[in-house]
Amino acid sequence: MELAGRLHQLTAVELAPVVKKALRDDHAWPLTWEFDALDWTGNPATVGLFRLAGIARTSGGGEVPWIMVLKVVADVDLTGDPLIDRYTHEPEGINYWKREALAFNSGLLIDWPGPLVPVHCYGVEEVSKSQAWIWLEAREGAGPHTLWTIEQLASAAYDFGALAAQWRSKLPDVRQYPWLAQRWLRGWVALVRTYAVDHFLGHDGCGKGSAVEPFLDGSTRRRMAELISDADDLLAGFDSLPVTLAHHDPQWGNLFAAAPDESPARTVAIDWGFFGLAPIGSDLGLHIGQNIMSWGIDQRRAAEHDQASTVAYISGLEDYGWNGDVDSVKFARATAAALNAGTWLAMEVSWLCPDMAERFGSDAAAWPTRVAAKQGISTTTVVERWASGFNYVLDLADEARQLRPHVHC
């Protein structure tokens, strides 16, 4: 049965357990409800995202509104390619389909002290061996998410630094949680190279005749090729560093400001499907790079964003008891940003290549136009900003190379 049909058949008995948790009322009972599909992109393991809202009777006899988000994850059949299969099917893989459901069920995402905390989960239902429903708090009513300022993003970076310091001293036994992602960045690079980046580097015609051609000069291709050539060495240094718990997807769209009555929580994070272990500084680099590639900032302000978030992250580390090597943190940050965002931006060039239309779909090449419409700017400005972000990410690759000899394992 399709998801929409299954949702239409939901009963009050089925909804009551999660509504009771959402309202913190053991006697609450759902009287009415409706649902609508939310827009989401990217993760193929998420097969549905819905907002459910209605009215419930409380233990006192009154009626109150309730709202929550239902995230449906599934063991999807992708292309059959062995690398992509590992991407979603291996518990330690970068996008194990069941990870978020297991993480919430395990209790590992419950009762964090802050300042960064996971979104509240009201329940996880394994509807079959290949599908799970995750009932989540609807932050900001699950409506459109407002862009954060660079100052707000820096505040979140501080909170990620605090998280890294807190969990460094009490890392869980990995054998107890075998579904935690490990060497996520290495897996990402292997996947995206096979999927698109190697095509970009090996095909001189990639991007020609497209909107990005005026900004895709020979130096950009050369610098990207150098990054891929150096990736194994950078990853060897990266993987040698002390690890902590990491979100792995700390972009602005997954972050919400906590309400004053939620103190000491300041930042609430959603989307824990990439949750795992990574070096201290990894989430900082992913925060910077992903905000560039996801249009979370004006890419022309990338250096300002990097500086503010790096200072804040290191302060968060130190304020919560960490006293390690700052150069190693900066190296992890630069490596993560360059290898995650740099490869993504190179892949976006592949989307524009007619030779890749069969793999990505005929509409993939329209991304500059779609971004322009969503951002309310011209296509020319889209490409200018995109190029500025790409160049800054490649500057971070240069920094990673410079810091590599100074990494202290």
Counting the structural domains of the chain, the total is 1
Among 256, 236, 227, CA closest to 405: 236
pLDDT at residue 409, as a whole number: 58
Determine, yes or no, domain membership for 297. Answer: yes
CA distance 204 to 214: 14
Tell me which residue has tokens 């330690």: 92
Identify the bridge partners of residue 50 per DSSP, sorted by sequence position: 37, 70
pLDDT at residue 3, as a whole number: 82
Determine, yes or no, domain membership for 308. Answer: yes
Task: Give 39's DSSP letter.
Answer: P
Contact by Cβ (8 Å): 294, 145:
no
Determine, yes or no, domain membership for 1. Answer: no
Contact by Cβ (8 Å): 397, 223:
yes
Determine, yes or no, domain membership for 64. Answer: no
For the chain, the residue count is 409
CA distance 235 to 391: 21
Per the structure block, which two tokens stand in for 301?
A: 């302000």
Q: Which helix (H) or strand (E) holds 237?
A: helix 218-239
Q: Which helix (H) or strand (E) holds 359?
A: helix 357-360
Contact by Cβ (8 Å): 87, 273:
no
User: How far does Cα 110 stand from its chain's mean position?
Assistant: 19
Determine, yes or no, domain membership for 211. Answer: yes
β 63-74/131-136 pair status: antiparallel
pLDDT at residue 208, as a whole number: 86
Neighbours of 170 (CB within 10 A): 8
Mean pLDDT by groups of 10 residues along the chain of 409 residues? 83 97 97 91 85 97 97 82 76 94 96 96 95 96 92 98 94 85 96 90 87 84 95 97 96 96 96 97 98 97 98 98 96 98 95 86 88 94 96 98 85
Per the structure block, which two tokens stand in for 119?
A: 């979104």
Determine, yes or no, domain membership for 61. Answer: no
pLDDT at residue 134, as a whole number: 98
pLDDT at residue 69, as a whole number: 97
Residue type, 242: P
* Helix, strand and coil percent figures for the chain, each rounded to 5: 55, 15, 30
β 116-118/267-269 pair status: parallel
pLDDT at residue 169, as a whole number: 83
Contact by Cβ (8 Å): 89, 75:
yes
Q: What is the CATH number of the domain that holds 217?
A: 3.90.1200
pLDDT at residue 83, as a whole number: 64
Contacts of 102 (CB under 8 A, 6+ apart): 179
pLDDT at residue 362, as a whole number: 76
Residues of the domain holding 380 = 82-119+147-406
pLDDT at residue 80, as a whole number: 61
Determine, yes or no, domain membership for 187. Answer: yes
The sign of the CA dihedral 329, 330, 332, 333 is positive
Task: Give the CA angle between residues 70, 57, 49 to the nearest 5°.
Answer: 10
Determine, yes or no, domain membership for 76. Answer: no
Q: Which helix (H) or strand (E) holds 132?
A: strand 131-136
CA distance 247 to 64: 34
